[in-house]
Amino acid sequence: MSDLLDQYAQAVGQNVIGQLRHLAAPLKGLKVVHVNSTREGGGVAEILHKFIPLKNALGLDVSWEVIEGNKDFFKVTKSFHNGLQGNTVALTDRLLAAYEKVNQQNAERLRPKLEEADVVIIHDPQPAALLSLCPNRRGKWIWRCHIDASRPYRPVWRYLKGWIKDYDASIFSLAEFARRLPHPLYLIPPSIDPLSEKNMDLPAKEVHSVFSKFDLDPARPIILQVSRFDRFKDPLGVIEAYRLAKKFVPLQLVLAGGGASDDPEGQIVLDEVNAAVGDDDDIHVLLLPSDAHRTINALQRASDIVLQKSIKEGFGLTVTEAMWKGRPVIGGDTGGIRLQVINHYTGFLVRTPEGAALRIRYLLHHREKLETMGRRAKRLVKENFLLTRHLKEYLALMISLLRGAEERIEVIS
């Protein structure tokens, strides 16, 4: 397992790994369980795939459980997701009963393990009710919210707060996402894994292979948005921005997305996107499987500019991924995109398709600025948004909670 840490040491430096070892030392043997609702698709699953082996390599005893749900369950949890992001959604008694029943069923299966754990980390609203269904729990329970919950639809928040208020702590990605709760609210931005297939360096040949594979013209600029087909990602706004910019510069647009098993709305939005594309051969809508990591990596590297024109965004890991590849990002002026896209330095923040179109034209006209911004973007990610920084904060948080969450905690052996 130390091989894994050695690999990261090569990517981020030995002193970063040394610090992780220092933080992990007082947590050796600690039983930690992560619980979420999908093993594939979406940023949470991607982070957990790497977090678990790394924490284990550092001496913790970490496992990952995925709750099993049915159609009604995922329908209501999608409504929770949309409601937390501010959309008005309908919560019927039948759907809420489905939510509670699925949590109850999963609690029956997971209870012994969860009650025995020293630390349980519950990701997002789907498994949030598990805490109240584990009355003999002995460890600390943390609710990790990956969603921008700054202006939630009140009935959704009121309902979920009933399940969340008894946790020992919550984690939000940014201060503006945090909701008032009667326990400490930690702020930890997420991260990307520099060694994963989605972010590792690729041979030039593999990058160039996407041109023929997806019928792209290497001679004309490519703009790309990678995201689920979700209204909050504004794929229709991206198409509009592309059409406005294409009047002035030759351009191709790639909209690459995949489904996640807990997102039943994806097909509806995809149909809207296909209708908007019409017969434009320079727009390429790619519905990729959830394991197409190398393909997404190659597409990001083959693109000139990456867009993430979200209207609402949790953190925006696709922004981080593109920046890690030295691409400037034109992003929606919202959520975690603001933390990453430093306006005019690592990309541009925009609020409208018109704004995005203007910045596309600007960057394609000023190639040297595009290159400079890309280099700065990569540096920003290296210093702040890699997995090792994320892991460091999780370890520190666990020490903090286990030692009493005081302002200054000294663990000096």
- Residues near another protein (CB under 8 A) are 14-16, 18-19, 22-23, 25-26, 172, 175-176, 178, 180, 184-189, 339, 342, 345-346, 376, 379-380, 383-385, 389, 392-393, 395-397, 399-400, 405-413
State the minimum distance, in angstroms, from the CB of residue 292 to another protein: 28
Residue 274 vs 384, nearer CB to another protein = 384
State the minimum distance, in angstroms, from the CB of residue 56 to another protein: 20
Going 54 to 56 to 61 to 67, the CA torsion angle's sign is positive
State the minimum distance, in angstroms, from the CB of residue 409 to another protein: 5
Residue 133 vs 399, nearer CB to another protein = 399
Query: Mutual orientation of helices 93-116 and 71-84 as an angle, nearest 10°?
Result: 90
H or E segment to which residue 394 belongs: helix 387-403
Residue 173 vs 227, nearer CB to another protein = 173
Q: Are 272 and 188 in contact, with CB atoms under 8 Å apart?
A: no
Rounded-to-integer distance, Cα 224 and Cα 256, Å? 7
DSSP category for residue 386: B
State the minimum distance, in angstroms, from the CB of residue 375 to another protein: 12
Q: Are 223 and 360 in contact, with CB atoms under 8 Å apart?
A: yes
State the minimum distance, in angstroms, from the CB of residue 300 to another protein: 21
Residue 52 vs 188, nearer CB to another protein = 188
Residue 116 vs 393, nearer CB to another protein = 393
Q: Which contacts (CB < 8 Å, 24+ apart) does range 401-408 have? A: 401/119, 401/140, 401/142, 401/168, 401/169, 401/184, 402/27, 402/118, 402/119, 402/140, 405/169, 405/184
| Contact partners, residue 31, CB within 8 Å, separation at least 6 | 61, 116, 117, 118, 119, 139
State the minimum distance, in angstroms, from the CB of residue 174 to another protein: 8
Report strand pairing: 169-172 vs 31-36. Answer: unpaired
Residue 18 vs 53, nearer CB to another protein = 18
State the minimum distance, in angstroms, from the CB of residue 175 to another protein: 4
| Contact partners, residue 163, CB within 8 Å, separation at least 6 | 125, 128, 129, 131, 132
DSSP category for residue 262: T
Residue 54 vs 397, nearer CB to another protein = 397
